Every structure is written in structure tokens, then in C-alpha cells.
Amino acid sequence: MRSLIFLLIRILLHMRIAVLCADKYSRYDFPPGFVFGSATAAYQVEGAASEDGRTPSIWDTFAHAGYANGATGDVAVDQYHKYKEDVKLMAEMGLDAYRFSISWSRLIPNGRGPLNPKGVQYYNNLISELISHGIQPHVTLNNADLPQALEDEYGGWINRKIVKDFTAYANVCFREFGDRVSYWTTVNEPNVFAIGGYDQGVIPPRHCSSPFGINCTRGDSSTEPYTVVHNILLAHASAARLYKRKYQEKQNGFIGISIYTLGAIPNTNSTEDAMAAQRINDFYIGWIANPLVFGDYPDTMKEIVGSRIPTFTNHESELVRGSFDFLGVIHYTTCYVEDDPGSLVLKQRDFNIDVAAKIKNMEDIFLDSEYPILPWGLQVVLEYIKQVYGNPPLYILENGQRTQRNSTLEDTSGVEYLQAYIGSVLDAVRNGSDTRGYFSWSFLDVLEILDGYRSGFGFYYVDLDDPDLKRQPKLSAYWYSHFLKGGSVSSDKVIDLKNNFSALSPGHFRQ
């Protein structure tokens, strides 16, 4: 084990030598079949929150208590009613695939039991609309929106009962939609859901305990995040086993789970910082990926967290190990990591309780500003997963630049970000990473979990004061469409593109 740690440190040190990202490329430089899409999630776009039988999720409760910067998803961008218009925009843009999530409490209002026929119908309509426009649906089953009914009844993800209910919900989705859906992600970034929702208490369901979080009414920050991830892994594995046994042969689909990743770069050449960066990788990536690939949590986590992290029984370990066809990578930014033995008493937002590491550029990456563009950080993550986890098939399920929602349609930094990050994916693929697809976050400006409607990651701006919620393309939509249709992109072309964009009336690029 020791020698493995030193091998990992060598990989990390090696990666300090920043690699140059592909600067001029087109989609034809990617392997045939590589999928380019864009993503959203149910509560962030659907609206119609109490329409046609839907009941609240933990995210509704969170937003209605004012924690999403005062905003709610009651209407959001109304994709529930505007899905046809949105799918048309996707087709015109040239998307190969659309990643969305299903609202569990729209499909099964009490979390278990009877289906809501209107909910089934909505997702049937959306999926069929996508298919008829040649767009592959990539479906996430749960994205921070557990039915409030299950949270109230037994505490949701902290209770082992969730495994059975999640599996039954997944069964409904496979049965009703699996004839047309070939890509399933069970749970969205469980690592961040657990840290945000059960350690800091800043996202639903707002569990935390002092001194780690502020003002939660329930929770235990020192244990619940670990319990929740354990239950999510068991629920994922149970749903994946069901899919593989009952549906996969007939439906020819694939199932996976997504992981939030940070590029973790040691701040200096010291062994201490390299080990700190390794701990960040273990606590973020390894927390999920080690059980899936090796059947247990990383040794560093078990050593540091001790009895607070649950132990896998042999049976659970067997169930979880290998329970995926692909891993979803969620990546926005890269951090510089310094050893910090005193960090076990970190304040909220430091995002690394128990890791004993300090993130140097914290303000850059967790505040409400634009992300610094550090594209080789994504390459480092893809390379790391390739080397440590045996090169599993990957889909990048989220990546995108945060811009201020209302500022401008000329989101130049969004274009620069996409151009650089897609280039870094190409570099990783050229060096052997089995990455098979890329989804930008997000297709539209959506309700963001903390910011509400203050930031916009989308290709389309939606003026929330406009009763029609008209979608207006940004420069980045124009750029991505050009790329998707086979145009070559390069940094010196951005200016050219920008001039062309300004010369057109918004929307004109749609042919």
C-alpha cells in the first residue's frame, strides 16, 4: 500500500508539469461515436412544481426556506411546458445528446407506491421528442431531489431503507423508459451531495452540526456524510444489479454513477503537499471510485475517519465492486493543495473536512465568480482515473463556466472555457483515456442550487421577467453549434466568431 502511495505521489508530481492543451481542433479529431451533449436537472428547469400530481422534494423545501438565494424552482424555466421548444433548439444547435434528470416525486409522489400517470406521460413525451429529433437521452435518476415524503418518514438517505425504495423507483424508470433510454446515471455526485447536504448543511436536506455547519435543525456532520455515501453506494449497486439482471440484455443500455472531481495540484514539490493532494483525490474521487472498482474505501480515509466511516460487509463489497458500466465525471475547476494538519476544525465552505489539506485558491473556485480557466486540471483528473482505476469508460457529465446571469449574451469567457476544456479532453483521449462523451453544464440558464438565478452557466439566457420565458442564445451557443456541426475551433477564431455573432440578431444562427 505504501508503495502505491508513492506511485500516486509520483504521478501527481509529474502532473505539475502543465501540459499544453489542444488549441485548434474539430469534433472529427475525437474518436467516432464520441458524444457531445449538454445537461440540466429536473428541479432546475422543469417548473410545474405542484402541477399534475408532483409533490415536493427536499430541494423544494430548501428553496422555499430561502436558501437558494431566495429563488425557487416553482416555475424555473418551465421546461415542463416548453420541452418541445427546447428540444427543437437542441436539434438546431446540433446536440448529439441531452442529459436531464427525472423528478422522483413527479413520477412517484409518495416516494413509493402508486405511479403518477401524468409524470410517466411527461417523461415519455420528453424522451420521445428527443428520440424523434435524433438526440440521445442520458438520464440521471436522482439529483439532490429526494421526495420530501421519504425524508420525513425515515430521514431519507441516512436510513438504509432508502436502498429498497430507490431500487423500486429505478425499476419503474427502467421499465417505463428503458426501451428508449440507453444511459442511466443513478445518483448525481454523491460526494458533493454528502458534503454539502450533511456536513456543511448548505444544500438540501440541510443536515449539519456545529462547528461544521450553521443553523441546521438536524444532523451530525462527523458521521452522516459517510453514512449517506455508504447508503447511496448500496442503493446505486442494488439498482445497477437489477438493471443488469432484468433489463440490460434486452435494452442494451449502460449504467453508472457520477463523481464530482477537483483537479488537485500539490502547491509545492514537497512530499507533504503531494500527500495532501492525494488525500483530496481519495476523499473526493476515491470515496466513490474505490468501492466501485476495488470494493472498499481508500486506506487513507479509513485511517483518518476511523469508526465514523461504515465498513462494507463482504456481501456489500461484492455488490458494489464492478457495479458500473461507466463513471460520470463532473468537473469545473482545479485547486492548489497544501498540507494542513490542523484542518480537522475547518470552517464551512472550506469543503474538505477531515482531509487535513488546505485549498489555496478557495476564493477562486467556491465563490460566485467566474472560474479560473485551468483546463489541464481536467486532463489531470482523466489521466488520474485512467491510471489508478484501470481506465474505465468515462462520460464528462458536467463542465462549464459560471457567468453572471444578467450580464451579457456575449459570454466570451464561456467560449474560452469550453474551447480550452474540450481541448483538454481531446488531449486526455489522445493519451489513452477511455472518455466517451462530453456534456456541458448547462443547456439553459437554470436555477442553481446555491445562487438561485444569480449565475448563468447556460447556452441560452432566459429572461425571467418575460412572461413567455423566451430563450436567447449566447455567444457560447453559437460557438458550440459551430463546433458540433464540424467547424474547426481555435482561440484566434473566437474574435472572428464574436464579430459574426454581434452582426446577427440573436437567434439568427439557427438555420
Ligand X SMILES: *[C@@H]1O[C@H](CO)[C@@H](O)[C@H](O)[C@H]1NC(C)=O
**269 near ligand X, judged by CB under 6 A:** yes
398 is catalytic: yes
Task: Provide the minimum distance between the beta carbon of 321 and ligand X in the complex, in angstroms, as a whole number.
Answer: 23
**491 near ligand X, judged by CB under 6 A:** no
**314 near ligand X, judged by CB under 6 A:** no
Q: What are phi and psi of 87, to 5 degrees?
A: -65, -35
Asked if 335 contacts 264 with a C-beta cutoff of 8 angstroms, the reply is yes
* CA within 13 Å, CB half, 240: 26
**β-strand 455-456 against 403-404: which pairing, if any?**
antiparallel
Task: Provide the minimum distance between the beta carbon of 299 and ligand X in the complex, in angstroms, as a whole number.
Answer: 23
Among 5, 9, 19, 409, contact with ligand X (rule: CB under 6 A): 19
d(CA 102, CA 104): 6
Among 215, 217, 314, 511, contact with ligand X (rule: CB under 6 A): 215
Contact window for ligand X (CB under 6 A) among 24-32, 79-87, 118-126, 494-502: 494-502
Among 121, 431, 491, 502, contact with ligand X (rule: CB under 6 A): 431
189 is catalytic: yes
Contact window for ligand X (CB under 6 A) among 189-197, 323-331, 413-421, 490-498: 490-498
Angle in degrees, 0-180, between the axes of helices 117-132 and 79-93, rounded to the nearest 10: 10
Contact window for ligand X (CB under 6 A) among 157-165, 183-191, 281-289, 489-497: 489-497
What is Dmax (Cα atoms) for the chain?
64
Q: What are phi and psi of 478, to 5 degrees?
A: -65, -45
Q: Which is nearer to ligand X, 125 or 209 (CB)?
A: 209
d(CA 75, CA 371): 28
Q: What are the counts of helices (DSSP H) followed by strands (DSSP E) for the chain?
A: 20, 15
395: left (phi over 0), alpha (psi -120 to 50) or beta: beta
Task: Provide the minimum distance between the beta carbon of 241 and ligand X in the complex, in angstroms, as a whole number.
Answer: 31
Grid look-up 437542441 returns 90
Catalytic residue from among 129, 176, 189, 316: 189
d(CA 189, CA 439): 15
**383 near ligand X, judged by CB under 6 A:** yes
Catalytic residue from among 46, 383, 398, 448: 398
| Count of residues engaged in binding ligand X, rule: CB under 6 A | 20
**268 near ligand X, judged by CB under 6 A:** yes
Helices (H), 358-503: 362-366, 376-388, 412-430, 475-484, 493-503
**9 near ligand X, judged by CB under 6 A:** no
Q: Catalytic site residues?
A: 189, 398
Question: What does the binding site for ligand X look like in residue numbers (CB under 6 A)?
Answer: 14, 19, 214-215, 268-269, 383, 387, 405-406, 431-432, 453, 464-465, 482, 493, 496-497, 500
